[in-house]
Structure 1
Amino acid sequence: MKQPLVLISQVQRSGGTLLSQLFDGHSECNVHPHEIYIGNPKWIWPVIDLNMSPGNIFDKLVEKYNFKFYEKGYEKQTCKENTDIKSYVFDLNPEEQKKIFIKRFKNKPPSTQRDVFNIYFYSYFSAWKNDKNKAGNKKIILGFVPRLSCVSESVDKYFRAYPEGKIISVVREPFGWYASSLKHGAKIFKKSKDIRVYYIESLKSVLRNIETYGDKIKAIEFSDVVSRTEQTMRELCGFLGIGFENIVLNPTFNKEKIETNSNFVESIKKGVVKDPLNRKNKLTKKQIVEVEKKLLPLYNKVIKKIRST
């Protein structure tokens, strides 16, 4: 599988899951159906020792969540109040994937990092038996990796492996992001009591990556994904060199409509939901003032940059 890997990447709670689920089912994309976990942690791009055995290399890359999803189905609960969670069949046996990986590896031993990733994603999509999107002329592999775009070393290693790769970063306005992140809990931001530092890190990385990698980076506004879905998806399809298809107008998992990945129970619905645009009212007056002071100026700077490019 030699197609380039396209990443959706920015800080969590910004719309990355939604965007990847919008691309799900596009006939020219092999879309990874959940977050890509080949790094440890996931936002660190892996470096492979080509002298390792194929089995050990696979064990380093294999996505541990696949074992759970294979046994119990794919589900993603972000809202504790939501007890009615649908599970989606995910027929990808990691043990079968490993066999495919090792066989492919031995038939043509890799000589570069990219060769290893080509073999890995070949084994992934080959082992996924109930993938409903196998047909079509695939031009790209696409997946979501939170915060990888924020780690300059990881971005550099990714582009070394995929010089023709591209990164899409979604920028969410700070009030909605902060409200969602507070509701989600600090478990996704383990190293700091002040989760706002991760939002700042993400915004700064957008500016840095545009400056460093130019037209390989596409930054978009979360509000556009939600309120101008068709125009935004047409623009992104053009950026990726794929045709526009109507399936990208609604989020799906394996071409089946899926509910939103929301922390707020009232917003858990199928389709593109506009509720997240009105999260400022979930913050206290004190929190609003803090966001206006610490996050809003940098956000406005990034938005100005996005709209000028």
Structure 2
Amino acid sequence: MLNTLIVLTGHRKSGTSMFHRLFDGHPELIIYPDDISLLYAYFPCYAYQPDATPAQLRDRIRVVVKKSLSEVYESEEDSRFVDGDGFSDLLLKNLSGRDIRKKGDLINAVAEAWCSYKKITDTEKPFLFKETSQSIFFQELKLNFPRLKMIALLRDPRDNYAALKAGVKEHYSKMGEGELETLASLLNRARMDFLSAEVNLKQFPKDFMAVKFEDLIVSPLEVMKNVCEFIGIQFTESLLIPTLVGREYKGNSYDKKKFSGISGENLGKWHERISGHEAMIIEYWLGDVMDQWGYPKAFSSVESQKAFSEFYNWYNCKYFFSDNFK
């Protein structure tokens, strides 16, 4: 059973990978090297299928874990390589006797398997991992892990969409997403993340923290010292340098740009990377939370509503319209 769980979260492409890499190698933490991925690629769509057999669920867990780790460790010749099969074997062994349809059981099994795989003996240290858009599940996770700490990274949704849009052609299109689907996803999930962060901050101020990506870029020392105080670890200079299992981390931008250190290369450049029409759609649907979190809007509400009405024609047909005139 985990002593303390620390979850870093945020919308996809909001900067969470770089944020996660800042903790790499900290002596007071046990750090899983990437998203565990299971909280969105196994839960809920697979874990809660009533007809799925235990064997099918275990196979899915293995597939997800292996793929997520393969994106971190480049080759078997690399001394930091993780044997996806070997780690998955340990994980599935640790799941024996546990309910693999329960998040708490699965997270505990991942932590125990990682400690076993890396031969970590001081298992009282907090276990830290990253996972996409988990703020909405904070209360659920808190029931399983009373000493849970969660840090949500929030980003200007226009910049966030710009980062996503850059990856549509080479990445998201392979999952069936075009630019409109990616925009629709951001509208729903980013709004959910902003709203859930607000609720969690009010109800659980000692256990939930929100960090703006822009603040992390502009004032990393101040932000990381505050983060350390929040999770109860000592600040070290290494927390200002993103690394991946000890090696330099150069980012995962779909623009194929390589960064060094904490980079603000694309900070505030949404107006160069997305259309005004796309920005208006975002401002219309997320305008209230943008105001709350200090992201000034660039367009009037009248302009934004017109843009959203045009987007809604596609949005409604794609997701909501049911033809009862047949």
> Shorter-chain-normalised TM-score: which range?
0.7 to 0.9
- Confirm whether residue 284 of structure 1 aligns to residue 275 of structure 2: yes
2:160 and 2:57 mapped to 1: Cα distance?
A: 37
Matched with 1:126 is 116
1:99 and 1:262 mapped to 2: Cα distance?
A: 32
In structure 2, relative to structure 1, the CA distance for the partners of 1:213 and 1:88 (3 Å cut) is farther
Displacement after TM superposition at 1:59 (Å): 5.0
Matched with 1:199 is 190
2:46 and 2:141 mapped to 1: Cα distance?
A: 9
Matched with 1:64 is 64
1:252 and 1:258 mapped to 2: Cα distance?
A: 5
Matched with 1:163 is 146
* Structure 1 gap ranges (5+): 76-86, 305-309
In structure 2, relative to structure 1, the CA distance for the partners of 1:181 and 1:110 (3 Å cut) is closer
1:215 and 1:189 mapped to 2: Cα distance?
A: 40
2:126 and 2:68 mapped to 1: Cα distance?
A: 26
Matched with 2:130 is 144
In structure 2, relative to structure 1, the CA distance for the partners of 1:36 and 1:101 (3 Å cut) is closer
Aligned length: 280
Matches within 5 A, 1:75-90: 90=80
- Confirm whether residue 249 of structure 1 aligns to residue 268 of structure 2: no
Give percent identity, aligned residues only. Answer: 18
Displacement after TM superposition at 1:110 (Å): 6.0
Matched with 1:3 is 3
Structure with bigger gyration radius: 2
Q: Deviations over 1:210-268 (max 9, x none)?
A: 23433211011101111111111111011001111111111111121110121223x42
Aligned AA for 2:236?
E
Matched with 1:183 is 166
2:162 and 2:44 mapped to 1: Cα distance?
A: 26
The answer on whether the counterparts of 1:39 and 1:45 sit within 8 Å (CA) in structure 2 is no
In structure 2, relative to structure 1, the CA distance for the partners of 1:46 and 1:123 (3 Å cut) is farther
1:167 and 1:295 mapped to 2: Cα distance?
A: 23
Matched with 2:323 is none
The answer on whether the counterparts of 2:25 and 2:246 sit within 8 Å (CA) in structure 1 is yes
Q: Deviations over 1:143-169 (max 9, x none)?
A: 11111223xxx3333112111101111
In structure 2, relative to structure 1, the CA distance for the partners of 1:41 and 1:110 (3 Å cut) is closer
* Structure 2 gap ranges (5+): 296-326
Aligned AA for 2:83?
N
Structure number with higher relative contact order (C-alpha < 8 Å, ≥ 6 residues apart): 1
1:193 and 1:209 mapped to 2: Cα distance?
A: 25
2:285 and 2:109 mapped to 1: Cα distance?
A: 44
Matched with 2:250 is 259
1:205 and 1:54 mapped to 2: Cα distance?
A: 32
Secondary structure of 2:10's aligned partner: coil
- Could you state the TM-score of these two structures normalised by the residue count of structure 1? 0.74
Matched with 1:80 is none
The answer on whether the counterparts of 2:11 and 2:193 sit within 8 Å (CA) in structure 1 is yes
The answer on whether the counterparts of 1:67 and 1:93 sit within 8 Å (CA) in structure 2 is no
Q: Which moved more, 1:7-16 or 1:39-48?
A: 39-48
Aligned AA for 2:73?
Y
- Confirm whether residue 38 of structure 1 aligns to residue 38 of structure 2: yes
In structure 2, relative to structure 1, the CA distance for the partners of 1:18 and 1:56 (3 Å cut) is same
In structure 2, relative to structure 1, the CA distance for the partners of 1:149 and 1:219 (3 Å cut) is same
Secondary structure of 1:214's aligned partner: coil
The answer on whether the counterparts of 1:43 and 1:148 sit within 8 Å (CA) in structure 2 is no
Secondary structure of 1:170's aligned partner: strand
In structure 2, relative to structure 1, the CA distance for the partners of 1:140 and 1:6 (3 Å cut) is same
- Confirm whether residue 273 of structure 1 aligns to residue 263 of structure 2: yes
Secondary structure of 2:152's aligned partner: strand
